[in-house]
Structure 1
Amino acid sequence: LGGNSLSATQVVSRVHDRGLPLELRWLFSDPTVRELARRIEEGSARGNDVLITLRADGTQPPLFCVHPAGGLAWFYGGFAPYITDRPIYGLQDPHVVNGEDSATDAHDLAARYVEEIRRVQPEGPYHLLGWSIGGIVAHAMATRLQADGQRVAYLGIMDTAPPADGEIPAPDVVADEEPTTDPNRAADILGGWRDLFDLDDAVKAESAEEVADIVRTQIAGMGLLAVDVVDRVMDSFAVSADMLMDYRPQRFAGSAQVFTATNDKENPAAIPEGWREHVSGTIDNTDVPTHHLGMTDAASLAVIGPRVEQALTETGDREIDSPDIPS
């Protein structure tokens, strides 16, 4: 009905005050009163939370959003005010949410996620969006869908560099710049985690290690995630780079929309340029004045959200899987 991750945390807190068990993820995976009541009765029993519903209503084909490292897709709930008349789903790391073994290859993970989205939408056109490692997996899903004869009408990539020979992208919790010790210049890099979990302004993070510590301790202490889930979130951060060690992207037959965080890069243009050899069509890049982990905070979404909506509208679900689109 228009709730977001912040209001969801408030619901969880108030339900806990009533002495009832409720996990934040349940509000996304079982987003009705009837389903939540059943889930509370079942307690820790869980179903498949790999594909979660962030918004169920809309007459246009869904937008499927792939998680960054950490494995959670709740951050994408912030797109709901900007994406109109279209369901929004989030894809989450099966290791984090279901306790399955960690993925070791991006192609395998993409294949799993293609199966998940085709249960909801058996045929194209498909609309895919991914942030950081999720951008690489979304691109892999797009090429797999095309290989299966399906149309991919939209591919969005948020602050993701494709792996090059001998190189892999840095994990999501690592900023491109070393944190400064100057208190006047130190940046809070909690990004979307702050809004997602309604963290107090006094809670700051100025390094990747501090982000990890806050995710593990403060968030677990709030009771919004079970302790074992928090541990698997940290696993997802740790293995994300290894999953790309031997991965090389296929060529996507179509165009891509790219969003680049500029505040933590000496050469932001390297992000869209890196995708040119992996996309046959045009690269539409938008610079976002934030750091990598800030791509889903409120200010960044105010830039990214309308651009995604515009691209989805302009695409009009036309077929873009011809390999002869000019660069």
Structure 2
Amino acid sequence: MLSDILVPLGADGDGAPVYCVHSASGSCHTYLPLATMLDHRPLIGIEAPGYDDGEVLSGGLAALADAYARVVDVHRKDRPVHLLGWSMGGVLALEMAARLRSTGCPVPLVVLIDAWVPTGEPTPPDPALRARFVAGFAADTLGGVADRTAEILRVCAEEGTGEEAWDRLRAHGWLPDELDSETLDQRFAVFRNNVRALNEHRVQPGHPGPAMVIRGQHSPPETLPWADLIDDVREVTLPGDHYSLWHDAGPTRLATVIGDALRQTSTAALRGPW
């Protein structure tokens, strides 16, 4: 059932729930560090269909946003909702907000964490996608993810990518031992589908906001500013890069700025502009 995509992350309370949308990996567990830091606000993850079992949801990013918005609209029980997403999840959160608002659901705030406006980048071939997928498993300890992706590509080119591909990559210490090849095949299919959906998507201008865009100080520069597409947007830059935002002091910094923004939007109307 599609409702199984909702994953309670913690922090029971009476505040408007925060739905945290998966990145290209399909996992919502990235957001677990925030669960104890946003007081009185239920935190609910949205996991990609097929990440743990079941079928990968076919279609583009708009189809994913449609399906997720329907699930949230039923689950929210007439409460306002906040939406939050890292990387691809930020784009999904913004598109979900448009769909929820069209049905009358109040969305006081959308938070986009180090999310880029998709600009038609071609989807890489499977070997490059596989390397990116593997590099993401230990991004907090690998240092430069781009360098490690190139190293994984080199190893794959030298050793091949047959049925034992995952075992060879695991032997290099790049994959968790607890994930068997069948699980990795399934999760790679989700990742590939999500990357393709993101790359093919076009965000239309005119999103009303309010939204907050959080950037990593050392993340690649954006190709198109979100301010060109969202009418009411605040931008914040925090130390770190795309991955390190979620490690060490990163989650505390994120929780501080997100918590402040949520408190600002806790009433029916904002007190003036950001």
The TM tier, using the shorter chain, reads: 0.7 to 0.9
Q: Give the aligned residue type for 2:148.
A: S
Question: Which shifted more, 240-249 or 145-154?
Answer: 240-249
What is aligned with 2:187?
233
User: Who is 1:258 aligned against?
Assistant: 213
Q: Which residue number corresponds to residue 22 of structure 2?
A: 67
- 2:259 pairs with 1:294: no
Change in Cα spacing, 1:99 to 1:308, as seen in structure 2 (3 Å) is: same
Tell me the equivalent position of 1:89: 44
Tell me, in whole angstroms, the C-alpha distance in 1 between the residues paired with 2:117 and 2:196: 14
Q: Separation in 1 of the partners of 2:13 and 2:230?
A: 29
The amino acid of 2:213's aligned partner reads V
SS in 1 for 2:207: coil
Gap change, CA 1:56 and 1:309, over 3 Å in 2: closer
Residue 50 (structure 1) shift:
1.0
CA contact (8 A) 1:50 1:97 kept: no
Report matched runs for 1:202-221 at 5 Å.
Answer: 206-208=147-149, 217=170, 221=176
Q: 1:161 aligns with which of 103, 116, 121?
A: 116
How far apart in 2 are the matches of 1:148 and 1:299?
38
Query: SS at 1:259's partner residue?
Result: strand
Instruction: Name whichever of 147-156 and 134-143 sits farther off.
Output: 147-156
Matched-pair contact (CA < 8 Å) for 2:65–2:92: yes
Instruction: Give 1:138-177 correspondences, 5 Å limit.
Output: 138-164=93-119, 166-167=120-121
Match in the other structure for 1:277: 228
Q: Which runs of 5+ in 1 are unaligned?
A: 1-45, 175-188, 195-200
Do the aligned residues in 1 keep the contact of 2:51 with 2:187 (CA within 8 Å)?
A: yes
Q: Matches of 1:80 and 1:234 in 2, distance apart?
A: 27
Shift of 1:209: 5.8
Letter in 2 for 1:280: D
Counterpart residue number, 1:316: 266
**Residue 105 (structure 1) aligned with residue 60 (structure 2):** yes
Question: For residues 152 and 7 of structure 2, what CA distance do their matches in structure 1 show?
Answer: 25
SS of 2:52's equivalent?
Answer: helix
Q: Which segments of 5 or more consecutive residues in structure 2 lack a partner in the other structure? A: 154-165
How far apart, CA to CA, are the structure 2 residues paired with 1:211 and 1:79?
31
Question: Distance between the aligned counterparts of 1:79 and 1:118, measured in 2?
Answer: 23
Partner SS state of residue 246, structure 2: coil
Amino acid across the alignment from 1:254: G
Deviations 1:120-145 (A, max 9, x none): 21324210000000000000000111
Residues in 2 aligned to 1:89 and 1:53: alpha-carbon distance in whole angstroms: 5
Is the Cα–Cα contact under 8 Å of residues 123 and 150 in structure 1 kept in the other structure? yes
Aligned-partner residue type, residue 93 of structure 2: A
Quick check: 2:56–2:189 contact (8 Å CA) kept in 1? no
Whichever residue aligns with residue 192 of structure 2, its letter is A
Task: Measure, in 1, the Cα distance between the counterparts of 2:123 and 2:41.
Answer: 31
In 1, the alpha carbon distance for the partners of 2:122 and 2:214 equals 19
**Residues 100/159 of structure 1: CA separation in 2 closer, same or farther (3 Å cut):** same
- Offset of 1:102 from its aligned partner? 4.1
1:76 aligns with 2:76: no
Q: Which of 185, 192, 202 is matched with 1:248 structurally? A: 202
CA RMSD of aligned residues (A): 3.5
**d(CA) in 1 for partners of 2:244 and 2:263?**
25
Kindly provide the CA deviation profile for residues 197-220 of structure 1, in whole angstroms up to 9, marking residues without a partner as x.
xxxx79996523668979x73686
Q: Judge conservation of contact 1:168–1:244 (CA < 8 Å) in 2.
A: no
Change (3 A) 1:107 1:204: closer
TM-score with structure 1 length normalisation? Answer: 0.65
